[in-house]
Amino acid sequence: MKKKIFTMFDYFLILLVSLLIFFGVLFIYSSNINSNGVLVLNEHSKQLMWAAISFVVMIIFTIIDYRRFGNMSKFLYSFAIFLLIIVLIPKIGINVNGSRSWLGIGSVRIQPAEITKVLFILFLAYYLDNSKEEAPLKRFIIASLIMGLPVGLILLQSDMGSASVFIPIYLIMCLFAGIPIKMIVYVLAVGLLSIFYCCLPLWNMYIAKTPVKLISLLTITKYRAILILASGLITLIGVVVRRYFHGPKWAFWVTYVSSIFCISLITSFIFSKVLKDHQIWRLIIFMNPYVSPDRYGWNIIQSQIAIGAGGLFGKSYLHGPQSHGRFLPEQSTDFIFSILSEEWGFFGGMLVFVIYIIILLRILYIIKHTNSNYGVYVGSGIFTMFAYHFFINIGTVMGITPVIGIPLFFMSYGGSSLLTAMISIGIIQSINCRRKELN
């Protein structure tokens, strides 16, 4: 059996992943050098250690039949929730950059939110696979609760970036599992509108050149309450008409839209109390970073300078003035792509972009050719996790998406991130090796 597994091993996928890890180590090393050419940190050495550990773990997860994780997933998910809870305890959780999201002994630290992503995917896939006979609404509500618990706990850690990853994973997995599209769109619309309403006050005050009076009204609590009551009443009437009087189809859509409006207004109020000012600023500052160039917009501005300075071919390896001058924030983690673009230019960035796209396409190919529903659901979750991390991270450093602080898998410095990514690749390899087998 083991011999069969290694004959079906996707060596091309591993080659691509290895290239990204190699590039990551190169530019983590570059980020550790100051403008005088002195190595001031040894993060590259730690990353090499985590890379070695991660490759071993990846092989272990390849050998293990991924379907075994199905029955174990509820315990793995519970363990992940336990870790997310204890990390909130002040004497246990470690606070880094304002987020209490780390556990560790001495210099060895792990971020439970990263590992939770994979365990969440395994458990949600297990539930979706074993609930096909249940009513779609019931399935969707339970799936939402499975997603909502870790997201809530991670938000309490002040880690908005990690929390955001769970939402697209859950939506895409539900889509693959046959949940009606109108339910998926409903949650997506509520989420986006909630964030939009939450950001309105700061946007209207600082980003808009001329404050909009209508938006100013929406930011006043009294008027918001009136809108909530009005949309809630419309929703209630619509439900009664549809349920007891068998109203026309348009009544359903009126109820659908009004309830989205009502719930998003309520949740945006909750978000405004939970999210801190700097987190809300992160969601809007990409629109115009120069409204706060020395504080909230600093990261984006410095990243754009580094990328622009790289030109077509870059400044050459180890000769990036922005990174070596320590102008780039979090340059070995969230902004590693900025260093690469500064030193290798447009062509270096395109090389990474192409490699990542091929990895995503390989995962889609494996999902398409597996006979296991559970494998499809797990694979779709991993695909979405990789795609979200890639596009949001690249968008962040280029200044076209909000700065929410998520790493670029395989390249960013961090053991938890790399371990999570390689466990996921191991599971994908396991699915690939057994893709012709039935559930």
Strands, DSSP E only, in 83-186?
94-96, 99-105, 108-110
User: What is the per-residue pLDDT for 6?
Assistant: 66
User: What is the per-residue pLDDT for 216?
Assistant: 67
At 33, phi and psi to the nearest 5?
Answer: -100, 135
The reported pTM is 0.92
User: What is the per-residue pLDDT for 284?
Assistant: 85
User: What is the per-residue pLDDT for 105?
Assistant: 66
User: What is the per-residue pLDDT for 7?
Assistant: 67
427 touches 360 (CB < 8 A) = no
- The per-residue pLDDT for range 306-357, each reduced to its tens digit, is 999 999 999 999 988 888 888 877 788 899 999 999 999 999 999 999 999 9
User: What is the per-residue pLDDT for 119?
Assistant: 97
Instruction: Choose from 22-36, 188-202, 241-255, 425-439 the range with maximum mean pLDDT.
Output: 22-36
- List Cα–Cα distances, 350 to 67, 171, 264, 337, 353, in angstroms: 36, 29, 38, 11, 5
Task: Give the residue carrying structure tokens 């599971």.
Answer: 427
What is the mean predicted confidence (pLDDT) over 398-419? 92
Burial of 188 (0-12, 13-18, 19+ CB in 10 A): middle
What is the mean predicted confidence (pLDDT) over 74-92? 91
User: What is the per-residue pLDDT for 196?
Assistant: 86
